[in-house]
Structure 1
Amino acid sequence: MMMFKRYHGTRSISLQKSPLYINELELNLRRYHGLEKIGSERDRVTMRRLMEFTYLMEGVPSPPPYRYSAVLNVVSMLPQELEFEEILRIARELMSKYYDLRPEDLERDTIFENYVRYAYNYVRYFGRGVREKIEIKKSTLDAINSFIEAINPDMSPDEMQNIAFEVAKKFEVPPKEFFSTIYLAVLGQPQGPRLGPLISRLGVQRFKEILMRSLEERRTFGEG
């Protein structure tokens, strides 16, 4: 509903851009519930009307505790010959580790299952398709590559966390910029749980694969 409301005279609609539309919906859900700031009172009123129209005045739900972009990251890295139920099982396992959720909660979560199905169908028809770009400075990319090389499965979460700070300092990259770039690539959002424990839960090798693939596909270089 939101997509068609916004369409009139202002934008073209493409199924290939559906991940961007879902990202926009998630952002407005967070804004509606006061989880993210919005520029002005006028914009806030417009956004609230748009969201209430989108949900047909039946109540705007809270945003899910995960992002569709992260689900799409996971599904796109899995072998495409797998059946949907197997992809759903793996996605539940990985996303519960991403966001420190209980797998059994995701089993009862119909929104999550729908997200996985959207991602599954999207990858089948469009490949990895259109994704939001991540603007990254060369120094930040160099720091991330150095971090990837430095960590290994024998390290504790605290050791990996400390290495992240050391690498950011070595390459003179502000820690906030370093971490937010990684979170955007892996989770689809600029914040996340402590990086060391996240990597430990996910597995070092799998973390590296997701991060490197996401940056390769989505990065665009900024100044610096």
Structure 2
Amino acid sequence: MLDQLVLIVFKTDCVFFIRILTFVVPEIHSFTYNFIFMKKYIILFLLLPLWAFSQKTVSKEEKDVQKFQKELNAEYLNPKETPLRGDNFKNFKGHPFFPFDAKYRVTAKFVKSKDTKPFELPTSSGKTKTYQEYGKATFMLDNKPYTVTLYQSLALIKQDKYKDYLFLPFRDATNEKETYGGGKYMDLKIPKGNTIVLDFNQSYHPFCAYNAYDYNCPVVPEENKLPVEIRAGVMYEDIYHH
């Protein structure tokens, strides 16, 4: 009799325990799921400001420079346009560039030259090309004024797409160290007002810096030799020295 009573009590307790589990286990599962779910969102919420802070905002000016770099590399990778020959072309992966620096994007005061005459500008091969002075641009860099002369190629302006083209050859204190010894070039357009933007981040080397045998390039005039480092635009690699 006692054994039967114990068995009945045991069964009753088991049923009660099972009922409790039936209620509690889903609650525990739900709590655990919600906790894990919320934990993920809390971590995401905490990391979001760090991610946003790490994302660099790229200005329109820097995007323009990136476009210039991409197009210049594409030109040198194109066998129909590149000045590179042999192994130099085969091994070319892209130009090295100075990091973009807004300091070297300057708004210069522009003064159009008057009564100028065509002249013969010497080139790297000893030949000459005909240019004409178009104007002068004066800008500030590190609180110091500098002036460069802008030219027009009389051969190029005969073509419609180059009729508003200006040519800026210049040298600076990085030549023969980080850039080509003969200097660099910049392409500009005739300004509509009395200012002109000079973005040295878009300066490049002449073709003869990479192939002196097939190209002759205008020599930088003395008046455009700047006694300051312009650490912007294309850099030069020793493999091209000749």
**Structure 2 length-normalised TM:** 0.28
The structure whose residues are more often strand, as a share, is 2
Larger gyration radius, structure 1 or structure 2: 2
